[in-house]
Amino acid sequence: MLRALVIAYQLLLCAAAPACAAEPAATFTLPNGLQVVVLPDHRLPIITHAVYYRAGSADDPPGQTGIAHFLEHLMFKGTRRFPNGQYDLIVTRAGGTNNAFTSNDKTYYYEQVMTEGLAKVMELDADRMAGLDVAASEAAHELDVVLEERRAYLDDPESVLADKAGHALYGQGVYAHPVLGEASETPSLTLEAALAFHHRQYSPANAIVVIAGDAEPQTVRALAEATYGKLPAAPAPPPRPWAVLPAACPDGIVEERHERVARDKASLYFVTPGAAVLGVQTAAALSLLADILQDQTASPLWRSLQDQGAPASDLSAGYELKLAAGEFSIALTANEDGQALQLRPALLDALAMLRRTGIGAAMLEAAKRRQLTEHLLRADDQLGEATRHGELLAIGRSLTEIEAEPKTIASVTLADVNAVLRDFLPNRCFATALLERSSTAEPARLRPAPQQPAHAVH
C-alpha cells in the first residue's frame, strides 16, 4: 500500500494550472497605474476585495518607526465623504467584514461582502486612497489602541524574541525594527506624520487591487474605472533602494528568558536574497527544502538529530520570501527546560551532515507531491487565495508567475534543492534565537487558583 500511494504528481498539475481552470484569473491596469487582479469563484454570492499598497514598515522614515502601521489604523477613522464610523457600518450592512494588516513590505486592507456590496467597497477604498479626514482627538485615541496592541504583542515572549532576531539579522536595515514600531518611537507618532506617509505612498500606481469571488472581470473593470479610475495619477512613490540588500553575515545569538515559556526553543535564521533578485525557481527550491526538513515522518534532519540523541521534541522549518530578503528558519523545541543552548550545536552538526549527504530524490518527490496537493486543497479558501496572490504581487511577482507556481514546483530538480541547501544554509552567517523559561526562585507560573475568592460585582 505504501508504494502504491506514491503516484506521479503530474496528475495533480492539470487542475491547478491556469489552462485547466474553469475560469482563469484576469488582470488589467488602469491609466492611473492601478493594477487590478480578478480571481473568479462563483460557489457563493460572496466577494473578497483587497487593496495592497507597496508600502510597509520598511518605508517608515527614521525616527518614525511604526508609522506605516499607525496609518493602517487611521485609514478607518474617516474621510470627508465618509466620516468616522461610516465605513464599518456600510460594510456590515452589506453583510461584510473587514480587517487590515501591515508587514515589512506592504500594507493591505480587505473587505469580504455579499456580491451586491462590491461596488460600494470599491468606492470606499478609492475614497480613502485619495485622502483622509481624521480629527486629532480620534487619532490620539487610536494611538492608545495601537499601544494596547503593542502591549498584547509584547505579552508573548515569542514576539519579543522575534523583535530581537530582527535586529540581529538586519542590524540597522529597514527590516530590523518591529512593524509596531520601537518602544521609544511608537508613543510619539503623530497624525501629521501618518498623513504625510499616506500622501507619499498611497497612490493608484503604488497599489494593487485583488478581487476574488462572485465577480466577472468585465464587471470589475467597469466598477474599477468608475471608482479607482477617477483618481488622478500621482507622482511616483519614493524609490526603494533597500530592496537589494547588501551582502551581510549575521552571526549573533539573541535570547529571551521569561517565566511564561512552556518549552525552551532554539531557532536558526538564514537570510537569502529577496524577491527583488531571487528567481521563482530558486524560491520554490527553498520552500521545498523547508518542507522536506520539517516533514513529520521522513525529515532527514530530524532523523539525524534523533540518531545523535538530541534532547528535542519537535522540529519545524519555514521559508518566508520578502522583497529585500528571504528568511529560512529552523526551530527545535526542547524536551526539558534549560536545554535551548544545547540544541544549537546538535542542529549545526545535523545540518553539516545533511550538506554532505544531500537531499534524496524520494524526499523531493514526496515534498513536491505534498505542495501540489496543498495547492488544490486551498483553492476553496477565497480570502486565502486573494491574499496569497496579493502578497506575491506586492513583492513584484507577476500574475503569470503566480498562476504557474505548480509548474514551477514540478520543475525544481534535486540539483536545485541541494544547491540552495549548500548556498543559502551555510555553516556561518546565521542568527540564533533562544527562547528559555526563566528559573525564578519562586516559580511565578500562571495557574488558576483552586479556590478563587468570589465577590459580587456591584
Partner 1 sequence: MRHLLALLALVIPLLAAAMTAHAGTSEIISPRGLRVWLAEDHGTPVFTLGFRFAGGSSQDPPGKEGLAHIAAEMFFQGGGKLGADDYTGLWNQLGAEINMEARLESVRGTVKVVSQDRGKAMELLGLAVNEPRLDADALAQVRDQVAAAIEREADDPEAVAFRMYDALAFGSHPRARPVAGTQDTIRTITPGDLAAFRRNIMTRDGLTLSAVGDITPAELGPLVDRIFANLPAQGQIIQAGPPPATTSARSDQPLNSEQAQVVFGLALPDLTPREQLAAELINYTLGGSAFTSRLFHQVREKRGLAYSIGTTLDRYSFMAELSGSLGSAPATVEEAIGLVTQEFDGLADNPPSDDEVAEAKAALAGQYLRGVIKQADLANELTLRMSEGAAGDPIGDYANRFSTITPDEVRALARRIPWSSRLVIATVGAIAAPPARAAATPKLRTPPAREP
Q: Residues 72, 327, 385, 403: which is the catalytic one?
A: 72
Q: Which is nearer to partner 1, 54 or 369 (CB)?
A: 369
Nearer to partner 1, 91 or 245 (CB): 91
Residue 72 designated active-site: yes
| 73: contact with partner 1 by CB under 8 A | yes
- Does residue number 313 form part of the binding site for partner 1 (CB under 8 A)? yes
Interactions with partner 1, residue window 121-180 (CB under 8 A)? 140-152, 154-155, 160
Report in angstroms how near the CB of residue 245 gets to partner 1 at its nearest. Answer: 25
Question: Among 187, 252, 318, 358, which residue interacts with partner 1 (rule: CB under 8 A)?
Answer: 187
Provide the pairing of β-strand 431-437 with 253-258.
parallel
CA distance 297 to 339: 24
Answer whether 58's CB lies under 8 Å from 70's CB.
Answer: no
Report the residue number, 108 or 328, with the smaller CB distance to partner 1. Answer: 108
Site for partner 1 in 193-252 (CB under 8 A): none
Q: Find, among 290, 125, 346, 151, the residue nearest to 223 by Cα.
A: 125
Q: How many alpha carbons lie under 13 Å from residue 158 in its C-beta half-sphere?
A: 9
Per-residue cell: 128 = 480613502
CA distance 172 to 166: 10
Select the span of 8-16, 389-397, 399-407, 410-418 touching partner 1 (CB under 8 A). Answer: 8-16
Q: Does 92 bind partner 1 (CB under 8 A)?
A: yes
How far apart are CB 233 and partner 1 at their closest, in Å? 28
Residue 162 near residue 176, CB atoms below 8 Å: no
d(CA 106, CA 274): 14
Residues 431-450 that bind partner 1 (CB under 8 A): 438-442, 444-449
The CB-of-21 to partner 1 minimum distance in angstroms stands at 9
Is residue 356 a contact point for partner 1 (CB under 8 A)?
A: no
**369 is a site residue for partner 1 (CB under 8 A):** yes
The CB-of-328 to partner 1 minimum distance in angstroms stands at 22
- 18 touches partner 1 (CB under 8 A): no
Q: Which of 61, 63, 99, 423 binds partner 1 (CB under 8 A)?
A: 99
The whole-angstrom separation of Cα 202 and Cα 285 is: 34
Strands 265-273 vs 325-334: parallel, antiparallel or unpaired: antiparallel
- Dihedral angle sign, alpha carbons of residues 383, 384, 385, 390: positive
Q: Which of 56, 96, 300, 326 binds partner 1 (CB under 8 A)?
A: 96
Please say whether the beta carbons of 142 and 74 come within 8 A: yes
In the block, residue with C-alpha cell 514598515: 57
| Shortest Å distance, C-beta 362 to partner 1 | 11
Beta bridge partners of 29: 35
Which residue numbers are catalytic? 72
